[in-house]
């Protein structure tokens, strides 16, 4: 059983994450404020009590320890605003008198320093006080001085300040919620713009997404535009392939129809052979297009597993060209991925290997490499090769250097177009065995 359900929107997710975090931080700040406030008030009070005890000590020493000569009563209460007790062997002064039950035990305690008293029961006196006691001697006379303050009044003041702090914290939390909500709405405005652009794209008003997206959305817009470019280029390639196929089969079909339409000439064996040859040409052309379709695997996204796809293609071509050997050389692991669409990688490898298999004598070698951001595909055959002056023309659409060999001059052109779309380069050179070597680099 899940305790938390995944929010259905980005706004909900941000509020679920940020709002509890803000409340927790405010709660921690409020608790720390209470602790520090109590600590600072206590330290300040202790300092005041200690200073007043020092002042009383100075007055008693100036009087030579004679408490009768000290000015007491209203003078001490107006100056100190605290209760006090002065004790000597001959006399004890406590002001106000109601505090005597609280201060007398402290006189007899025999311990100097800060002395708290809690939960005391005395009439007209507080239950919690903080006192500072100091004992000293004036000549041979021992003197004890105690100054104390009501902690209840101090705690009430602290509680009031702490309550106001809590109110301010709640207001800040509400303000934080408003700021977070406004920030979320402002941050998601590009999503609304992108949504409107996609709707216009669907309605056919625009052909590409051109919006001023923030940095986080730019890769998404780039990928969508690349997908649109890929679809347009595939559609263009399909149209070109259909046009080429239509042009290629039109002449054989016209010749066969002419022979069949000529009722004056009987179907001799020679005419039958010509018709069979024309139909055989059509069959080969259709077979070639079907083979290219088999080479083009299903689309699974903007990444491909080059080693797996290369092995599958080499196995297929090995069955197609049974008298020739297809070899793979690579140090890439099986799980390595390239940022190329699987369909496009199949088109590149399939056309290059098919062309090499068509012209090779015995062996075709495929090498896959990747290092320092460079992806490299090398296809080498041991065929007759190509003259140096003609290598610059390789890859041109419809170019066939040997009209006697079956083909349409489209394979290398298709591969070159795909490579160029990914910002790569394709070059041709003489192989080590005298054949042709094709190098593709991304």
CATH number of the CATH domain containing 78 = 3.30.450
Please report where in the chains the tokens 């002064």 appear, as a residue.
93
CATH number for 309? 3.30.565.10
Domain of residue 404 covers: 301-442
pLDDT of residue 247: 59
Measured distance CA(140)–CA(319) in Å, rounded: 122
Mean pLDDT in residue range 34-50: 82
Measured distance CA(282)–CA(255) in Å, rounded: 12
Nearest to 413 by CA among 399, 428, 396, 427: 396
Measured distance CA(413)–CA(419) in Å, rounded: 10
Span 328-386, pLDDT tens digits: 998 888 888 888 877 788 888 888 888 888 888 889 899 999 888 788 999 998 888 77
Do the beta carbons of residue 52 and residue 80 sit within 8 Å?
A: yes
* Residue 345 domain-assigned (yes or no): yes
**Range of weakest confidence among 11-15, 152-156, 194-198, 247-251:** 247-251
Span 75-112, pLDDT tens digits: 555 555 578 888 888 888 887 778 888 888 888 877 88
Measured distance CA(126)–CA(137) in Å, rounded: 30
* Residue 226 domain-assigned (yes or no): no
* Residue 240 domain-assigned (yes or no): no
* Residue 242 domain-assigned (yes or no): no
Nearest to 320 by CA among 274, 281, 284, 344: 284
* Residue 343 domain-assigned (yes or no): yes
415-428 per-residue burial string, b: 16 or more CB within 10 A, e: under 16 = bbbbbeebebebeb
CA distances from 322 to 150, 236, 361 (A): 105, 33, 12
* Residue 252 domain-assigned (yes or no): no
Domain tally for the chain?
2
Highest mean pLDDT among 137-141, 146-150, 305-309, 315-319 belongs to 305-309
Measured distance CA(350)–CA(361) in Å, rounded: 18
Do the beta carbons of residue 113 and residue 138 sit within 8 Å?
A: no
Mean pLDDT, the chain, rounded, equals: 77
Top pLDDT among 145 and 249 is at 145
Half-sphere exposure in the Cβ direction for 130 (13 Å, CA): 16
* Residue 359 domain-assigned (yes or no): yes
pLDDT of residue 401: 47
pLDDT over 60 (residue 5): no
Q: Among 122, 140, 156, give the residue marking a domain's end.
A: 156
Query: pLDDT band at 1, cuts 50/70/90?
Result: very low
Mean pLDDT in residue range 158-167: 82
- A 10 A CB-CB count for 17 gives 12
Span 252-262, pLDDT tens digits: 676 666 667 76
CA distances from 246 to 276, 291, 344, 380 (A): 19, 17, 24, 32
Q: For the chain, how far is it from start to end, CA to CA, in angstroms?
A: 49
Top pLDDT among 197 and 3 is at 197
pLDDT of residue 68: 67
Mean pLDDT in residue range 225-243: 75
pLDDT over 50 (residue 147): yes
Measured distance CA(198)–CA(196) in Å, rounded: 5
pLDDT of residue 244: 61
Mean pLDDT in residue range 287-298: 53
Measured distance CA(74)–CA(132) in Å, rounded: 21
* Residue 320 domain-assigned (yes or no): yes
Per-residue tokens: 75: 């003078």
Do the beta carbons of residue 115 and residue 170 sit within 8 Å?
A: no
**Range of weakest confidence among 26-30, 54-58, 243-247, 406-410:** 406-410
Q: Among 156, 188, 204, give the residue marking a domain's end.
A: 156
Q: Among 109, 137, 156, give the residue marking a domain's end.
A: 156
Per-residue tokens: 366: 């495929």
Question: What does the H/E/C string look like for the chain?
Answer: CCCCCCCCCHHHHHHHHHHHHHHHHHHHHHHHHHHHHHHHHHHHHHHHHHHHHHHHHHHHHHCCCCHHHCCCCHHHHHHHCCEEEEECCCCEEEECHHHHHHHHHHHCCCCCEEEEECCCCCCCCCCCEEEEEEEEEECCEEEEEEEEEEHHHHHHHHHHHHHHHHHHHHHHHHHHHHHHHHHHHHHCHHHHHHHHHHHHHHCCCCCCCCCCCCCCCHHHHHHHHHHHHHHHHHHHHHHHHHHHHHHHHHHHHHHHHHHHHCCCCCCCHHHHHHHHHHHHHHHHHHHHHHHHHHHCCCCCCCCECHHHHHHHHHHHHHHHCCCCEEEEEECCCCCCCECCCHHHHHHHHHHHHHHHHHHCCCEEEEEEEEECCEEEEEEEECCCCCCHHHHCCCCCCCCCCCCCCCCCCCHHHHHHHHHHHCCCEEEEEECCCCCEEEEEEC
Measured distance CA(295)–CA(188) in Å, rounded: 43
- 301 contacts: CB under 8 Å, gap ≥ 6: 341, 342
Query: pLDDT band at 154, cuts 50/70/90?
Result: confident
Do the beta carbons of residue 386 and residue 394 sit within 8 Å?
A: yes
Measured distance CA(429)–CA(438) in Å, rounded: 7
Top pLDDT among 400 and 278 is at 278
Please report where in the chains the tokens 């890439």 appear, as a residue.
332
pTM above threshold 0.75: no
């Amino acid at each position: 059983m899940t305790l938390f359900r995944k929010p259905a929107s980005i706004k909900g997710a941000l509020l679920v994450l940020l709002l509890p975090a803000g409340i927790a931080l405010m709660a921690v700040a409020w608790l720390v404020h209470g602790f520090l406030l109590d600590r600072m008030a206590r330290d300040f009070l202790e300092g005041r009590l200690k200073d007043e005890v020092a002042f009383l000590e100075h007055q008693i020493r100036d009087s030579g320890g004679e408490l009768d000569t000290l000015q007491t009563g209203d003078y001490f209460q107006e100056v100190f605003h605290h209760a006090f007790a002065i004790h000597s062997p001959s006399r004890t002064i406590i002001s106000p008198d109601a505090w005597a039950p609280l201060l007398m035990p402290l006189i007899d305690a025999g311990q100097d320093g800060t002395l708290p008293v809690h939960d005391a029961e005395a009439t007209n006196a507080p239950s919690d006080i903080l006192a500072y006691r100091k004992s000293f001697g004036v000549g041979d006379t021992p003197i004890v001085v105690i100054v104390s303050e009501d902690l209840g009044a101090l705690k009430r003041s602290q509680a009031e300040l702490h309550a106001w702090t809590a109110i301010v914290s709640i207001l800040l939390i509400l303000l934080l919620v408003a700021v977070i909500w406004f920030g979320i709405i402002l941050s998601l405005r590009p999503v609304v713009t992108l949504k409107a652009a996609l709707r216009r794209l669907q309605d056919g008003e625009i052909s590409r997404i051109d919006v001023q997206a923030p940095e986080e959305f730019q890769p998404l817009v780039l990928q969508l535009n690349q997908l649109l470019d890929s679809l347009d280029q595939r559609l263009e390639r399909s149209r070109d392939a259909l046009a080429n196929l239509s042009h290629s089969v039109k002449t054989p079909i016209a010749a066969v129809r002419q022979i069949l339409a000529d009722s004056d000439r009987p179907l001799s064996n020679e005419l039958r052979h010509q018709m069979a040859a024309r139909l055989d040409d059509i069959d080969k052309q259709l077979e070639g297009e079907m083979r290219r379709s088999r080479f083009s695997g299903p689309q699974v996204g903007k990444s491909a597993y080059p080693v797996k796809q290369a092995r599958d293609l080499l196995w297929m071509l090995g069955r197609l060209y049974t008298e020739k050997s297809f070899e793979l050389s690579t140090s890439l692991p099986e799980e390595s991925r390239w940022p190329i669409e699987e369909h496009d990688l199949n088109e590149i490898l399939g056309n290059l290997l098919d062309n090499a298999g068509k012209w090779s004598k015995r062996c075709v070698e495929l090498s896959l490499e990747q290092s320092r951001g460079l992806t490299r595909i090398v296809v080498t055959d041991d065929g007759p090769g190509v003259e140096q002056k003609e290598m610059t023309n390789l890859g041109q659409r419809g170019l066939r250097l040997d009209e006697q060999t079956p083909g349409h001059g489209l394979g290398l052109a298709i591969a070159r177009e795909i490579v160029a779309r990914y910002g790569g380069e394709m070059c041709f050179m003489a192989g080590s065995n005298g054949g042709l070597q094709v190098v593709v680099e991304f």
